[in-house]
Chain A
Amino acid sequence: MVTCRWVQDRLLLYLAGEIDPRLAAKLCRHLERCGRCTRVAEELAETQEVLGNALEQAIATPATLHERVMDALRALPAPAPGLSVPTRSFSTARWGWPAFASAGLCLLAAGFLLGREQALNNHPPATPAVRSPAAPILSLALLAADHEKPLQVAQPDQVVGSDPWQVAHALAPRVAFPVTAVDLRNADARLLGGQAQRVQGVPVAFQRYDWRGERVSLFQMDGRKIALPGLRETTFDGHCFLIGEREGLGYVLWCKGTTNFVLVARATPEQLLRLASAAGGASTRG
């Protein structure tokens, strides 16, 4: 039974639009016939706004606060590591790469830990995420679907060509952000062409490569509009990447500036890291 007390308890949630639609309908019907609860709703809204107006004031943070906090922290011992980074297991190498490739990755990770200060200072890394709190999380399943589609001739917003700068230059106006020209010829990957498309409503520049007979897709998108998913972090060649694998497809993700990059292929992420590193290192704005 909908009582006035029940309604008044939920009025603020109702006014803020943070209530279940079915409950909202009940409140609405009650308010239509109950003048008392309607008055309470009006008073709550008024008081909230009056307080907000009264308390609204720009407050300048003292310039000394930052240094005071850092001085206080320097006097403390470093916190004991209490967090574990969740890891994901990977399937065995599809192409039978030697086991020392995995050991080599561990050594690289160890080397990173030892030389992390220098790495952070000397190599601005391609970082795993550029994120706006309100941006949707990228769906890898949608990228997988695009990756599996063949690059068809005469499709709208499609560019066919092997010149990375020409393809990037042609795609840029179609996606309304600067597309990076990614030349992977030194990594044995030949550009076939590209296409402008939308993933989750966000414009994406998609480039297709042939890598030793294997199809490789490179997606680029504005990182302020769509966030990278929280996959396993790794470091390769001094750069930070997010890697993952699902249904036989390997994914390597990174960001540079405001652009998020995603490399997809039927290979393990470890196999793709060398290609991703070449993409990250060789890229220039198109």
Chain B
Amino acid sequence: MSHLPDEVLARRAAAGHRECFEELLARHRDRVYRLCYRMAGNTEDAEDWAQECFVRAYRQLGHYNPQLPFEPWLLRVTSNTCLNLIKARGRRQDRFQLGLGEEMGERASAAPDPLDAAVCAEEAQAIRAALETLPPTLRQAVVLRVLEDLSFRELAEILGVPLQTAATRVRRALVQVRERLAKSGIEVVL
């Protein structure tokens, strides 16, 4: 089974071979979890959200077209599920994190120089704040593009929008992040 392509496994899983879905789970759980972590902002929610994404994908296998690649379809289910969970959580609390606090804190504390650590922490806070102000659809687009290193074609396929629309969403997100960082006094330089 380890040699079967995703598309064949998905088709068999849809026909009732649960072990085929388990193989898909093993192959894709890291990527799905990583995306859920970035969207949820903490490890507890990320694991719950990742479980929900896989269960939803399993339920929707009957709608998956095996003539098309499986991974973009799974990422689409994942990002849309996360968006829905963000909205549901947003109704309970008016903000969401982008999973930056935990590891950015680690990175800051790992900086050898106390001044560097302070700068890192400040930049991390500013970047997180800038991303949090983005509308969910722009956040979704820039997270997928930047974190998952997707091409714009892959991004457009996952979002279900034309190529230009995907690029426009990322551009607007980047412009807004840059403007927000400038207001925070953070200069964006490489």
Residues of A within 8 A of B (CB): 8-13, 16, 18, 43-44, 46-52, 54-57, 59, 61-62, 64-66, 68-70, 72-74, 76, 78-83, 85-86, 116, 120, 127-131, 133, 230, 233, 255, 257
CA distance A120 to B131 in the complex (A): 47
**Docked complex Cα distance between A255 and B1 (Å):** 12
Cα A59 to Cα B147 with chains together (Å): 12
- From B37, B65, B149, B174, contact of A47 by CB (8 A): B174
Question: What chain B residues lie within 8 Å of A255 (beta carbons)?
Answer: 3
Other-chain residue from B1, B16, B37 in contact with A120 (beta carbon distance below 8 A): B1
Cα–Cα, bound, A116→B12 (Å): 11
Contact A83/B174 with A54-B123, A59-B34, A65-B51 known, Cβ cut-off 8 Å: no
In the complex, how many angstroms separate the beta carbon of B19 from the nearest chain A beta carbon?
A: 7
What is the bound-complex CA distance between A83 and B17, given in angstroms? 13
Given contacts A46-B189, A57-B103, A255-B3, contact A51 B164 (CB under 8 A): no
In the complex, chain B residues 145-177 whose Cβ is within 8 Å of any chain A Cβ = 145-147, 149, 151-153, 163-164, 167-168, 170-171, 174-175, 177
- Whether B188 pairs with A54 at a CB distance below 8 angstroms is no
Q: What are the residues of chain B within 8 A of A46 when measuring CB–CB?
A: 188-190
* Residues of the A chain whose Cβ atoms lie less than 8 Å from the Cβ of B29: 61, 65-66, 69
Residues of B near any A CB (own CB < 8 A): 1, 3-5, 8, 11, 13-19, 21-22, 25-26, 29-30, 33-34, 37-38, 43, 47, 50-51, 54-55, 58-59, 61-67, 69, 71, 98-100, 103-104, 107, 123-124, 127, 131, 142-143, 145-147, 149, 151-153, 163-164, 167-168, 170-171, 174-175, 177-178, 188-190
What's the least CB distance linking A225 to chain B, in Å? Answer: 15
> Secondary structure at chain B's binding surface: helix, strand, loop or mixed?
helix
Rounded to whole Å, the gap between the CB of B98 and the closest CB of chain A is 8
**Candidates A56, A59, A76; contact of B58 at CB < 8 Å:** A76
Asked whether B14 lies within 8 Å of A66 as measured between CB atoms, the reply is no
Measured CA separation A130–B98 after assembly (Å) = 37
Q: Are A51 and B34 in contact (CB under 8 A)?
A: no
